[in-house]
Structure 1
Amino acid sequence: MAGLDIAFFGSSLVSAYWNGAATYYRGIIRALAAGGHRVTFYEPDAYERQKHRDIDDPPWAKVVVYGADPASAEAALDQARGADVIVKASGVGANDALLEAAVPAMKRPDALAIFWDVDAPATLARMRADPDDPFRREVARYDMVLTYGGGAPVVDAYRGFGARFCTPVYNALDPETHHPVPHDPRFAADLTFVGNRLPDRERRVETFFLDAAARLPGHRFLLGGSGWADKPMPANVHDLGHVYTADHNALNCSALAVLNVTRDSMAETGFSPPTRVFEAAGAGACLVTDAWEGIDLFLEPDREVLVARDGDEVARHVASLTPDHASRIGERARARMLDEHTYAHRAREVERLLASRGAQATVRP
């Protein structure tokens, strides 16, 4: 399809600081740019993200940083008005309600307004709990809702709220960003977990990571992510703090195994693989994940990934792993990702959706 001008309002493209969606945005947008599309990413100056940048402004997107106040958001919207596609992502972090109401109202008649939900289970739970949630009024005004995951339960729920069209565009691997690198002694461990401390993740981290560490006092565990400094931990857990994306490959390639712990809402919904799954598998790491419905759509249990139902099973996996076995699992996972789950695959899917929905938009009365 011909190159499109795409305006994308999200949390941040240049900083992963308190911004778990950064890798997803980068992968999707970089792949769309490779297909000839021109993307301008609008992000608010919020949560000190600009002070914790992971990357400079990339050559594959124009980045516009605007103030976190309503007037600055409105000025950014005015700048984006002429785009062929205008995307409002969930969880921008400043003036979300203002942006959600403005995007479908401001687009050209032949343009597309997309709500891209990077945390659909949480958004849907919020709307169910509050009949006055302002986004309830906006869902049906968008031409399309795309979601980070969630499968049929999320699609059905969005249709129930009046969405014209909804489909998942799952996380994926950017093989130019996440790939095998040499072992780094700084990150040597038997099991590594990276994730910010969040209310709907903490209990599961206790169950799947800290409990496993307590069961294996002779093994070394590494914990990366923001917010864990004052968390009581077993003595064999070493807190790394925030891990910048430049270190993710070394981190994933230096542990015997890497753990994924899904947030409460995503685990309950299923079909919501976090970016860490693809980053770790893309680096050839041996991945251990908590159990959630749909994992087999992305990786084959026992052959390409190890699945655990609790901390005891995590500990059993780690205790029984040998370097050779872990390496074989990681190699198979990486091959599966390259064959089926890169952001180039996802970008082609998005292009098909844009072409299909755009054709419908031009004939809508």
Structure 2
Amino acid sequence: MKVVILGLSITSSWGNGHATTYRGLVRELARRGHDVLFLERDVPWYAANRDLPRPPYGRTELYASLEDLAGRFAEDVRRADLAMVGSYVPRGAAVGEWVQRTARGVTAFYDIDTPVTLALLERGACDYLRPELVPGYRLYLSFTGGPTLARIERALGAPAARPLYCSCDPELYAPAACEPRWALGYLGTYSEDRQPVLERLMLEAARAWPEGRFAVAGPQYPGHLQWPRNVTRVEHLAPPEHPAFYNAQRFTLNVTRADMVRAGYSPSVRLFEAAACGVPIISDAWPGLETFFEPGRELFVSRSGEETLRYLQEVSAPERRAMGARARQRVLSEHTAEHRARTLEAYVLDAARGG
């Protein structure tokens, strides 16, 4: 197939989780013989923080404006078997309208932020998607599964809403033989709605266990936040540094955005990355979690700092390693970028045949 993806970013992972998803998906589509063009709006904050300026798979092009996009890439979109627009693309609604007018193949909207998108649409505040555009996308691909898919079809008129979850790259994320530096770590960009959960599940545990060592990595945390003395703060880590960070932890913490907790069935890419490294996960609770990992066998669920601390102090090293190994096997069998590429192929072929 000829595939054109218009996404938020593939060249920079700074402050977003889109880049790693697109990198894995594009690489696997290219490996499977597809001709993939990724189009990214050139914006200053990504230009200053490009950790993969020239992806070695497919073809990546930057555009400066809608006029530049239409002037240089209309023929690519017209000839594509799949033209896919992602969430949070700058002026994405206008981009999507242009794609729907121009494309002759299957059109798709890839929502990496589904609960946030639906909330914005309800408030009339979404600048990358409008309700009237949804029926014009032959596929609505969503990071969120479960009941939300039926809602998208029923309330927004999507012809076919399908799950296309995040994934991980097992070639990059793997166990490493090293002695963990931290009892518990967390990797994630600051989010106002995640911070109280991080406070409850990790920082309370850190204060109750001064001898324990903890770490929080990620950008955009406000300077006024007060961190316990035994919590190491690490600024933005580029994706190539993620595996080493995970492998330096005895356990890793997963915290989910509030909108995604309410929707359920919205796994974070951090879940799959950490599991692929064989690092046991302590996660917050949300509907549908058990469809990705089996609680108590492939990860732990915590609802308080006290419960987190009990896992850290009472789970034996052999039990911890066995849980990490089981989670890794689950990821390798169901949640790699290759799995997502194959799933996308099947969706596009079905849509092209009128399914």
What TM-score bracket applies, with the shorter chain setting the length? over 0.9
Equivalenced residues, count = 352
CA distances 1:270-303 after superposition (whole Å, capped 9, x unpaired) = 1111000000000111111111111111111111
Cα distance in 1, alignment partners of residues 72 and 216 from structure 2 = 38
SS at match of 1:64: strand
Cα distance in 2, alignment partners of residues 131 and 138 from structure 1 = 14
RMSD, matched Cα:
2.0
Partner of 2:139: 144
Partner of 2:342: 348
Match 2:70 to one of 56, 68, 74: 74
CA distances 1:303-326 after superposition (whole Å, capped 9, x unpaired) = 110111233322222222333222
For structure 2, the 5+ residue unaligned runs are: none
Partner of 2:96: 100
CA distances 1:127-152 after superposition (whole Å, capped 9, x unpaired) = 12229976111001111100112322
Alignment of 1:67-216 (within 5 A): 67=64, 69-75=65-71, 77-78=73-74, 80-81=76-77, 82-92=79-89, 94-108=90-104, 111-130=105-124, 135-183=130-178, 188-216=181-209
Moved more, 130-139 or 320-329: 130-139
Tell me the percent identity: 33
CA distances 1:98-144 after superposition (whole Å, capped 9, x unpaired) = 11221111112xx0110000000010111122299761110011111
User: Quick one: structure 1 residues 131 and 206, their matched pair in 2 at CA, closer, same or farther if it must change by over 3 Å?
Assistant: closer
1:191/1:259 contact within 8 Å kept: yes
Partner of 2:12: 15
1:25 aligns with 2:25: no
Partner of 1:225: 218
Alignment of 1:280-359 (within 5 A): 280-359=274-353
Cα distance in 2, alignment partners of residues 276 and 176 from structure 1 = 16
1:14/1:56 contact within 8 Å kept: yes
User: Quick one: structure 1 residues 114 and 324, their matched pair in 2 at CA, closer, same or farther if it must change by over 3 Å?
Assistant: same
Partner of 1:264: 258
Cα distance in 2, alignment partners of residues 219 and 190 from structure 1 = 6
Using structure 2 for the length normalisation, give the TM-score: 0.93
1:42/1:76 contact within 8 Å kept: no
Cα distance in 1, alignment partners of residues 27 and 267 from structure 2 = 20
- 1:78 partner amino acid: A
Cα distance in 1, alignment partners of residues 85 and 234 from structure 2 = 33
SS at match of 2:174: coil
SS at match of 2:338: helix
Moved more, 146-155 or 240-249: 146-155
Deviation for aligned residue 1:263: 0.7
Cα distance in 2, alignment partners of residues 280 and 43 from structure 1 = 28
1:7/1:40 contact within 8 Å kept: yes
- 2:60 partner amino acid: V
Cα distance in 1, alignment partners of residues 299 and 338 from structure 2 = 23
Cα distance in 2, alignment partners of residues 60 and 119 from structure 1 = 25
- 2:28 partner amino acid: A
Cα distance in 2, alignment partners of residues 155 and 234 from structure 1 = 44
For structure 1, the 5+ residue unaligned runs are: none
Cα distance in 2, alignment partners of residues 26 and 142 from structure 1 = 23
- 1:199 partner amino acid: E
User: Quick one: structure 1 residues 235 and 20, their matched pair in 2 at CA, closer, same or farther if it must change by over 3 Å?
Assistant: same
SS at match of 1:8: strand
Cα distance in 2, alignment partners of residues 158 and 197 from structure 1 = 32
User: Quick one: structure 1 residues 305 and 132, their matched pair in 2 at CA, closer, same or farther if it must change by over 3 Å?
Assistant: closer
2:145/2:162 contact within 8 Å kept: no
Deviation for aligned residue 1:222: 0.5
CA distances 1:208-259 after superposition (whole Å, capped 9, x unpaired) = 2222322222211100000126121111111101011111111111111011
Partner of 2:249: 255
Cα distance in 2, alignment partners of residues 47 and 318 from structure 1 = 42
Deviation for aligned residue 1:84: 1.7
Moved more, 147-156 or 334-343: 147-156
Cα distance in 2, alignment partners of residues 61 and 132 from structure 1 = 30
Cα distance in 2, alignment partners of residues 339 and 61 from structure 1 = 25
